[in-house]
């Protein structure tokens, strides 16, 4: 219990807030630095839950974030450096990274080589693999939540929706998770119990987005999301996804399966094979992080670009970027 001896105000004095860099539904994010070392940090100030009747205690998402990040330490997961409280606010001190994958994808001055995409995919999957190994679901994988540091390292951030899984008693998990464009089909159909496969679907969408440079399945509503998905990947049949017919009473237009090659013209066969297995309709057949990391794609040439040599933005313009619709917070932290 090392923290017990350390007073909160001493921790608070260790960091200096510099400027506001973003605001989400439950937090304000400041850029700051550690006074002693000059190390840049992000300070996420969590607002107490507000309702008509006044304060409502600490947000569940804040608890989830603290709980998951305390458990996870990995080069591809954002580091929780410190926590302190100020009056009634909770402040999380996080590693500062000045860019994210969404900004990089949108920056049309940057050209992606296939080795760059491989490198980003590798880092994403390694971070996610570490979460899943520790029985934690991220539940909000999207380019906006994949932060990229000056050294090119990619780190998973925003664990406000993360939770433990694998508990057979955990019924009634919320389906309103994951930003719609990256939401797995079983969630759209209202599955109350689900697992690692929901995160893998999102990674598949991110993979596609890296190649296309635009979001792969940008649905405006949940129904449109399904329609886009079926148009792109074919309407699932009972054979693709055993039990599909029992999921819903809805009748969908039957779209044929078009080979991914038609859209991803420049991609190699190993790339398409990996993408197809990540976007498998049946959550039980969708790849696990381990299987994905062992896929020949990562062993075949070209070799993934070393993080330090990945293309990066000329200058960061954190605030002016429009952000994709978000399930939890607009801020990347």
Partner 1 sequence: MSKLSLQNAMLSYEQLALTPSRKDAIPEELEDELRRLGCHFIQSAGILLKLPQVAMATAQVLFQRFYYVASMMAFSIRDIGMGALFLAAKVQESPRKIRDLINVYHWLISKYQNTVYEPMEYFGTEFYAMKNALVIAEMQILKRLGFNVHVQLPYGLMVNYLKVLELTEHEKIPQLAWGYLNDSLRTNIYVCYQPPTIACAVIYLAARICGVKLPTQPPWWELFEAELEDIL
Could you list the residues that contact partner 1 (CB under 8 A)? Answer: 1-4, 6, 8, 48, 53-58, 60, 63, 66-67, 70-71, 73, 79-83, 85, 88, 90, 163-164, 169-170
Helical residues (DSSP H) of 110-253, grouped into ranges: 114-133, 185-188, 197-212, 222-233, 244-247
**Cβ proximity to partner 1, 80 vs 206, nearer residue:** 80
Known binding residue 234? Answer is: no
CB closer to partner 1, 67 vs 106: 67
Residue among 38 and 57 whose Cβ is closer to partner 1: 57
What is the smallest separation between the CB atom of 267 and partner 1, expressed in angstroms? 39
User: Which residue lies nearer to partner 1 by CB, 111 or 169?
Assistant: 169
Catalytically annotated residue among 140, 167, 199, 270: 140
Q: 29 a known binding residue?
A: yes
140 is catalytic: yes
Closest approach, Cβ 96 to partner 1, in A, equals: 15
Minimum distance from CB of 20 to partner 1 (Å)? 23
The least distance separating partner 1 from the CB of residue 290, rounded to whole angstroms, comes to 23
The answer on whether 45 is annotated among ligand-binding residues is yes
Give 63 or 293: the residue with its C-beta nearer to partner 1.
63
CA dist., res. 20 & res. 148, Å (int): 19
Q: What DSSP string runs through 30-81?
A: EEEEETTT--EEEEEEEPPPEETTEE--S-HHHHHHHHHHHH---TTB--EE
Minimal distance in Å, beta carbon 41 to partner 1?
Answer: 12
> Taking the CB of residue 56, how many other CB atoms lie within 10 A of it?
11
Residues listed for the chain? 333
DSSP 8-state secondary structure symbol assigned to residue 27: E
Encoded tokens for 330: 């607009």
Cα(333)–Cα(325) distance, integer angstroms: 15
Q: b/e map of 238-262 (b: 16 or more CB within 10 Å)?
A: eeebeebeeeeeeeeeeeeeeebee
Give the three-state DSSP class for 202.
helix
Q: For residue 146, is the peptide bond before it cis, meaning its omega torsion is within 30 degrees of 0?
A: no
- By annotation, the residues acting in catalysis are 140
Q: Which residues are annotated as a binding site for ATP?
A: 21-29, 44-45
């Amino acid at each position: 219990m090392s923290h017990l001896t350390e007073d909160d105000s001493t921790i608070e004095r260790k960091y200096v807030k510099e400027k506001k860099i973003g605001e989400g539904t439950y937090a304000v994010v400041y850029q700051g630095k550690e006074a002693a070392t000059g190390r840049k940090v992000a300070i996420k100030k969590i607002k107490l839950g507000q309702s008509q009747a006044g304060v409502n205690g600490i947000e569940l998402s804040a608890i989830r974030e603290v709980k998951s990040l305390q458990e996870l330490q990995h080069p591809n997961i954002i580091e929780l450096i410190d926590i302190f409280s100020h009056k009634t606010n909770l402040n999380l001190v996080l590693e500062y990274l000045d860019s994210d994958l969404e900004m990089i994808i949108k920056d049309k001055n940057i050209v992606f080589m296939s080795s760059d995409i491989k490198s980003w995919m590798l880092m994403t999957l390694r971070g996610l693999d570490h979460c899943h190994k520790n029985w934690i679901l991220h539940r909000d994988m999207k380019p906006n939540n994949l932060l990229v540091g000056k050294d090119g390292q990619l780190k998973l951030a925003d664990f406000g929706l993360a939770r433990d899984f694998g508990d057979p008693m955990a019924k009634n998990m919320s389906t309103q998770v994951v930003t719609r464009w990256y939401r797995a089909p079983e969630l759209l159909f209202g599955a109350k119990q689900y697992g690692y496969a929901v995160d893998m679907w999102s990674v598949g969408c991110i993979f596609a987005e890296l190649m296309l440079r635009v979001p792969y399945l940008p649905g405006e509503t949940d129904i449109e999301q399904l329609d886009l998905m079926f148009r792109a990947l074919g309407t699932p049949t009972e054979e693709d996804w055993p039990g599909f017919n029992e999921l819903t009473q809805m009748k969908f237009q039957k779209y044929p399966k078009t080979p991914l090659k038609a859209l991803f013209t420049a991609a190699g066969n190993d790339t398409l094979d990996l993408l197809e297995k990540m976007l498998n309709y049946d959550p039980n057949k969708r790849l696990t992080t381990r299987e994905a990391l062992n896929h020949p794609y990562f062993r075949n040439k070209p070799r993934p670009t070393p993080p330090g040599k990945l293309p990066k933005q000329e200058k960061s313009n954190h605030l002016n970027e429009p952000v994709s619709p978000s399930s939890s917070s607009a801020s990347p932290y």
